[in-house]
Amino acid sequence: MTSSTHYWYTPNRESERLAPFATRESASRGRRFSESHPGYRGEYQRDRDRIVHSAAFRRLEYKTQVFVNHEGDMFRTRLTHSIEVAQIARSIARVLGLNEDLTEAITLAHDLGHTPFGHAGQDALNDCMKNYGGFEHNFQSLRVVDELEERYAEFAGLNLTFETREGILKHCSRERAAALGELGERFLKHGQPTLEAQLANVADEIAYNNHDVDDGLRAGLISIEQLCEVDLFSSQYELVKEAYPQLSERRSIHEVVRRMINQQVTDLIESTHQRLEEKTPDSVDAVRALGDRLVGFSEGMQHKHHALKSFLRLNLYQHYRVRRMTAKAGRILAALFVAFFDDPRLLPPETQEKMRRKEARAGESGRARAVADYIAGMTDRYAIREYERVYNPAHLT
């Protein structure tokens, strides 16, 4: 070996950079189909790379967070949201000595199962599926990486490690958990996921609450005056106004939002560090066995964070203009579901084939699941186009 060998990736060096409670790939529960070691990458890096190269990841660019994709180029999409979550989570992972690669893989995959049109789409699809096992976007993210991505020669799905899949599955009914084997165990035994998974979850909330403030203001759906009711916003807004009285509104907003994120991230790091000092888990299994989560805000910040969430729910997500969009989105997906379920011949041949396989296995539920998978995989604009193709008599191709 040459003298540069020590710069190369070697998994056993993880003990030097990771805290005892971090997830180590050397102690991974592995992949469902065993594969040889990826060579010059770690196992979680390989997970991350497979996620980035998946079709579902690329489609996130044209899926909505709150605003419909075509409303404007300045708004967040699920893709930019996922990147923001990964950025926030990785910064925190590094300072706490957690596994940054695993954190990145979980955060980039966390929204892969989202339907078009955000939560409106998920609710509509769940309604269509109520007699067939329901539809839940978080569980769908797991299905995307476990079976729906058909790309590799030797297995369905991306064949990710247990720990990445564990992090993707944030919640789960007891019924589903029982069918998932080892992955579902923690939902039956009230255990916790790894700290990296806990972190991905909170980073998701920090990202969307803060960027929804930014996007909501940009769209003119909420105002600075309204936001001044919210402690997290008003305290930073006053500081920015005092320090930079001449600053334009747009720059002031960005300055406030970045300070809000920083304040929440700092609190999260310090509070989590304190809990880790108190509980001193000495391994990832000790973390899993604890009754409570260790990654989280202080009580005071939790309260403020909750107030921001409530504000957004009331003033942004329930805004009549947002509701008009979500009602329309729900109708589009429900109509597509009915059309395809009633007459599968309207589906592309490849999807019909998948439906036949699912129907042979699970009857009508299998047929419904195939339709739901097809619709869930659509981007906003693709769903609108499919609706036009199926229902608009003027659209003859």
Q: How far is the CB of 86 from Mg ion (least distance, A)?
A: 11
Q: What is the DSSP letter of 166?
A: H
Size of site (CB under 5 A) for Mg ion: 2
Tell me the window of 22-30, 155-163, 196-204, 257-265 that interacts with Mg ion (CB under 5 A): 196-204
Q: Which two tokens stand for residue 291?
A: 């009754």
Residue number with CB closer to Mg ion (111 or 255): 111
Q: How far is the CB of 205 from Mg ion (least distance, A)?
A: 8
Q: Which two tokens stand for residue 150?
A: 């058909």
Q: How far is the CB of 115 from Mg ion (least distance, A)?
A: 13
Residue number with CB closer to Mg ion (113 or 377): 113
Q: Which residue is nearest to Mg ion (CB)?
A: 204
User: Residue 64 forms beta bridges with which residues?
Assistant: 77
Q: Count the Cβ atoms, other than its own, within 10 Å of residue 341.
A: 19
Site string for Mg ion, 153-192 (x = CB under 5 A): ----------------------------------------
Query: How far is Cα 303 from Cα 309, in angstroms, rounded to an integer?
Result: 10
Q: How far is the CB of 158 from Mg ion (least distance, A)?
A: 19
DSSP track, 269-316: HHHHHHHHHHH---SHHHHHH-SS-S----HHHHHHHHHHHHHHIIII
Tell me the window of 12-20, 197-205, 292-300, 333-341 that interacts with Mg ion (CB under 5 A): 197-205
Residues 291-330 that bind Mg ion (CB under 5 A): none
User: Residue 77 forms beta bridges with which residues?
Assistant: 64
Q: How far is the CB of 312 from Mg ion (least distance, A)?
A: 14
Q: What is the DSSP letter of 193?
A: -
Residues 93-152 that bind Mg ion (CB under 5 A): 111
Torsion angle of the four alpha carbons 347, 353, 354, 359, in this order, in degrees rounded to the nearest 10: 100
Q: How far is the CB of 185 from Mg ion (least distance, A)?
A: 24
Residues 201-240 that bind Mg ion (CB under 5 A): 204
Query: How far is Cα 252 from Cα 311, in angstroms, rounded to an integer?
Result: 20
Residue number with CB closer to Mg ion (160 or 368): 160
Q: How far is the CB of 207 from Mg ion (least distance, A)?
A: 7
DSSP track, 102-136: HHHHHHHHTTTTPPTTHHHHHHHHHHHTTTTT---
Residue number with CB closer to Mg ion (141 or 315): 141
Residues in contact with Mg ion by the rule CB under 5 A: 111, 204
